[in-house]
Amino acid sequence: MAVGEVFKGEVHPVAGVRLAAIESGIRYKNRLDLVLVEIEAGATVAGVFTQNAFCAAPVKVARKNLHDTDSRYFLINTGNANAGTGEQGALDALRCCQSVADIARVDIREVLPFSTGVIGERLPVEKIVAGIPLAFTSLDESSWEKAARGIMTTDTRPKLVSRRIDVEGESVSITGIAKGAGMIKPNMATMLAYVFTDAAIPRKQLKEILGRASDKSFNRITVDGDTSTNDCCMLVATGKSSVAVNAEIESAILGVFQELAVALIKDAEGASKFITVHVEQGANSKECLAVAYAVAESPLVKTALFASDPNWGRILAAVGRAGLEDLDIKAIEIRLGEVQLVSGGEVSASYTEALGQREMDRDEITLTICLGRGDSVETVWTSDLSLDYIRINADYRS
C-alpha cells in the first residue's frame, strides 16, 4: 500500500552527474540492485550519516573518504546492509571501492560506498565487482528513475523529485532520489537520500545547507522509531550552472528534501494513511518535537489511525506523557483536521463522533496540537501502523 501519487513531473538532469542502475543478483534475480553515480571533478559533496552506534561498514568508509578528499563516485547496493560484519565488512566495502577506482582511474578515497538491506550477512563482493564494469558502460545523465528504483528495498515505488528554477536569467536544476519504508526514525539520517544541483556551492556552505535542510525534512519523519545502521543523506553541487547559491536556491533545495521525506512516509511499510502532526504554541522547539514524536510513535495512536477510529483519548494520553514540565492541560487544544477535538483540556463541546469519523476516514490526516506555552512550532510526518507492517517485517528475510 502507499498513499497519494508517485512524482510525475519532469525530471531535470543535473549537469556533471551520470547514473546507472543494473541487476547484479545480490539478493534477488531480475531486480535492479546496484547503482553507480559519477560526479565530475570540481563538484562539492557533503553528507550526514546515521548516529546508530552499530553503523555499517560502508558508513564508516564513506564518512572517512568524504573527510579525506573530494568525491567522484557513489556505489550503492541493495539487498545487503554489510552491517554487523566486523573488520571483514570494511574490507569488503573497500574492495568494491577499489574496483570502481581501478576502472575510473581515481583514488580509492574518491569512491563512497553505500549499502542497504539485511543486517549481519557478509556482502556478496564477487557479484558486485562483476557488475561494476556494466554499471560504468551504462552511465547516463538521464537514468534518474532507474537509479531511484535501484536503491529500493521494501519500497513499493521509487522516490524521485526534480525542480528547475531561474536565477538571474540562468536555470538551476535540483534533482534527488531516496529510499526507505521502514526502520525510519530521525537521528540523521533516516534512510538513503541523494540530492544533486548544478548550482555553485562551496563545501563549507554546502554542509551548512545540508544540515538545515535535513533537519527540517528527513529529521522530521518517523515510521517505527527505529534508526537504521546504514542511513545517509548526501548533497552534491556540481557548479556547472555557474550560479552561486542564494536564499532562493537554498529554499528550493529544502523543498526537494521535504518532498522526498514526505514521499518516504507516504510509502512507509504497510502505510494506508499519511499523518501530519503539527505542534504549535510551544515554549521551544525541543518540547514541540517531544510532543510530536510522542503522538507520532504511539502504537495506540497509529493503530487507531489505521482503523480510522476517532479514539481521541489516545492522542490526549500521548501528549500527557511527552514529559513537558508544568504542563497546563487546560491550555491544551487538539484538532483533527478542521474538527476541534479537545479544548481546555477536555473534549470540545462542539465535537461529535460523526465529525471525528469524517476526518479519520481520509487517507491524509493532520493532527494539530496547541500547547499554549509560547511561539515555537514544529511538524513531524508519520504513517499509521497496519497489519501489513507486521507482515512485511515478519517476512523480511524470507
| Catalytic residue list contains 190 | yes
Task: List, edge to edge, every strand of the sheet that includes 111-115.
Answer: 17-22, 34-39, 73-77, 111-115
Q: Is 94 left (phi over 0), alpha (psi -120 to 50) or beta?
A: alpha
Do 277 and 369 meet the contact criterion of CB atoms below 8 Å apart?
yes
DSSP 135-182: HHHT-BTTTHHHHHHHT-SS-SS-EEEEEEEEETTEEEEEEEEEE-SS
Q: How far is CA 271 from the centre of its chain?
A: 16
> Which entry of 50, 153, 190, 197 is annotated as an active-site residue?
190
Do 47 and 189 meet the contact criterion of CB atoms below 8 Å apart?
no
Tell me the C-alpha to C-alpha distance, in Å, between residue 270 and each of 41, 217, 275, 391: 41, 21, 14, 8
User: Which three cell numbers, joined as nine digits, stand for 352?
Assistant: 461529535
* 165: Cβ contacts below 8 Å, ≥ 6 apart: 171, 172, 174, 248, 249, 252
Cα separation, 26 vs 100, whole angstroms: 17
DSSP 30-62: SS--EEEEEE-TT-EEEEEE---TT--HHHHHH
> Could you give the angle at which helices 86-104 and 125-137 cross, rounded to 10 degrees?
20
One-letter amino acid identity for 96?
Answer: C
Which residues does the annotation mark as catalytic?
190
